[in-house]
Amino acid sequence: MQILVALLASTALAFAPRATVRAPTSRLGSVWYDAQPQRRALIAGNWKLNPSTAQDADALLALLASNVRTMAAPPEIVIFPPMPYLQKALEAVDGTGIAVGAQDISLEESGAFTGEVAASMVRSLGCDWALVGHSERRTHYDETDEICNKKVQKCLAQDGLKVILCVGETEDEFESELLETIVSLQVRKGLAGVDVADADRIAIAYEPIWAIGTGKVATPEQAQAAHVAVRRALSEVLGAEAARRVRVQYGGSVTPESVDRLMAQPDVDGALVGGASLVAEKFSRICEFSAPGTPETAPPREITARVAVACQNALGESPIWSQRTNTLYWVSAVEGELWRWNCEDAPYKIVPRFGTTLGFVAARAGGGLLLGGEDAILSLDETAREAIVLAAPPMEGDTRPNDGRVDRDGRMVMGMYNNYHRAGASQGEDNSGLYRFGADFEYEELLDYKFRVSNCCCFPADGRTVYFADTPTRKIYAFDYPKSGKPSNRRLIWTQPPHWPGGPDGAQCDAEGMIWVALNGAGRVVRIDPATGAIDLVVHTPGCPTPTSCTFGGPDLDELFITTAARPAGGKLFRAKMPFGIKGLPEPEWQGANN
């Protein structure tokens, strides 16, 4: 037993006043991910002023109808033929599930308006959709956002008629980084005054004008970022709840070749297809895009995290979310700093008065924190103003506490770090152990071998497996983790591929039993299925190759927080909203007695 109670009075460490940093205020350029995966894909074909004859239209309709009839699980499909073909289109696709829509509708309802077609006319014919605000109408017919808004209102006034509002920036606007400003304005103005009850009758087509009919398709990542901007604007007009349900399509040179990767983006819910919708085979293939998450063929989905706190940690580590205080805590190891943020107020750091390098922070049952320092295991009270030494860490050779997490039985599992390793990857020998301690600080060594740099320690929901990596080996193992006794049945679950530099660092489990690993050196956090070793999600930390650890947080545990190291270019805290309803697990609290 190594409790240093006698030292408590003399070593009580008072913190200096907190230092604040500003929370980022600008949301432009950042990426926000929706956790609602339930939107049904919507693929639309905009025929524009094509084909030239009714006979060609018949042929196209017949082919398309027969293709869609044989599809196993078609998405929602709508075609927008020119007005004179609407009737025949409705007849040709009857029974296929394909809906038909009008490419435009009039601002007028009836009367002396030669050449116009009213919403009531197309609706009474049997059309389910209308297209509003296509860039060709905005450019060639001077349709402003105000006109588009009136047309949207005209559509929604027709019982059961749905509307796709098109938005998108010009190439100049794109080059000037005005994308978010422009599409946000177009969405907000185009939908002004729309009743939230009509949200399910609206879809947005994001079509960068520079991509329409040009063959220049936006990259999936560009499309995703734009769709996030659209959804943000939607939530301003319709509220967050409705914004989650509205489908956002991508349009602009969509082809069978580009559709899969576009549709793999979490906020791309469909496509508005021009040129390729005039070739039945192409349009059919687009409708049969490779469904997101399809095993084997689906590449991992890529997400970009954004900077949440510009904390400039030399070595950010060990993020935990406390549900007790709704606060994220993390340490900057070598500076001996503790950071905290409730995601609302300005984040702040407890300035270094610990006098020790910090390896981990953990929450304590009953409140307060446990800190794993190089020279001492420390306890902090609820207000985090005072630190007291609880115990000395188990020092074997030249090591210090590194990565660690509380297991699901409330004990701390802490790995050590070979201090020689700081000097270089080949310095020193394997001298670090993995230890567990409960309230009495009886250190139990868990592995029957030593290693260099402990990492990846985390536990799935049932607590009966532990993951572990010795970072320089670039391998992650799973062990059976009994309630008492040593972990056993070591099995390799993942090896970092050679084209990714660095190694596996901190990790966390999600509620689905997947393991999220910060790949320090490779600029990403990956989600690994421990059963297969497959990666299905990649979260990038742009500009920062050195993510060090991650955890889930926020009131709903649906955001991933990522700590990073400063060298060569990092040190900030990143966050990424989780797609597909992914959530973390509550962080267990260390069950040690208070002080």
Which residue has the CB atom at the shortest distance from ligand PGA?
Answer: 274
Among 134, 227, 421, 540, the active-site one is 134
**By the 8 A CB rule, do 163 and 155 touch?**
yes
Distance CA 23, CA 307 (A): 10
Q: How large is the angle between the packed helices 280-287 and 54-69, nearest 10 degrees?
A: 30
CA dist list (Å): 440 to 341, 363, 594: 30, 17, 12
- Closest approach, Cβ 249 to ligand PGA, in A, equals 9
Which residues sit opposite 302 in a β-bridge? Answer: 538
- Closest approach, Cβ 539 to ligand PGA, in A, equals 30
* Residue from 362, 331, 369 nearest 548 by CA: 331
* Residue from 401, 251, 278, 390 nearest 333 by CA: 401
Closer CB to ligand PGA, 193 or 213, in the complex: 213
- Closest approach, Cβ 212 to ligand PGA, in A, equals 4
Closer CB to ligand PGA, 277 or 551, in the complex: 277
Nearby residues of 413 by Cβ (< 8 Å), 6 or more positions away: 404, 405, 406, 407, 434, 435, 436, 446, 457, 466
Closer CB to ligand PGA, 61 or 273, in the complex: 273
Q: Give me the residue label for tokens 């794109």.
A: 174
For residue 159, the SS3 value is coil
Among 136, 180, 207, 335, the active-site one is 207
Closer CB to ligand PGA, 250 or 552, in the complex: 250
- Closest approach, Cβ 458 to ligand PGA, in A, equals 45
Distance CA 342, CA 555 (A): 10
Distance CA 4, CA 7 (A): 5
Distance CA 552, CA 509 (A): 9
Closer CB to ligand PGA, 130 or 370, in the complex: 130
Exposure on the CB side of residue 399, measured as CA atoms within 13 A:
27
Q: Is 207 a catalytic residue?
A: yes
Closer CB to ligand PGA, 131 or 566, in the complex: 131
Indicate if the alpha-carbon torsion angle 275, 76, 56, 90 is positive or negative: negative
Distance CA 172, CA 470 (A): 50
- Closest approach, Cβ 252 to ligand PGA, in A, equals 5
Closer CB to ligand PGA, 162 or 540, in the complex: 162
Which residues sit opposite 386 in a β-bridge? Answer: 14
* Residue from 477, 450, 480 nearest 465 by CA: 480
> Which amino acid type is present at position 94?
D
Provide the binding-site residues for ligand PGA, judged by CB under 6 A: 46, 207, 212-213, 251-254, 272-276
> Which amino acid type is present at position 594?
N
Instruction: Tally Cβ neighbours within 10 Å of residue 529.
Output: 15
Q: Give me the residue label for tokens 């701390």.
A: 412
CA dist list (Å): 416 to 341, 358, 394, 470: 27, 12, 9, 10
- Closest approach, Cβ 211 to ligand PGA, in A, equals 6
- Closest approach, Cβ 287 to ligand PGA, in A, equals 14
- Closest approach, Cβ 101 to ligand PGA, in A, equals 12
Closer CB to ligand PGA, 253 or 357, in the complex: 253
The separation between CA 575 and the C-alpha centre of its own chain, rounded to angstroms, equals: 8
Structure-block tokens of residue 10: 């003399």
- Closest approach, Cβ 140 to ligand PGA, in A, equals 12
Nearby residues of 140 by Cβ (< 8 Å), 6 or more positions away: none
Q: Is 136 a catalytic residue?
A: no
Closer CB to ligand PGA, 256 or 373, in the complex: 256
Catalytic residues: 134, 207
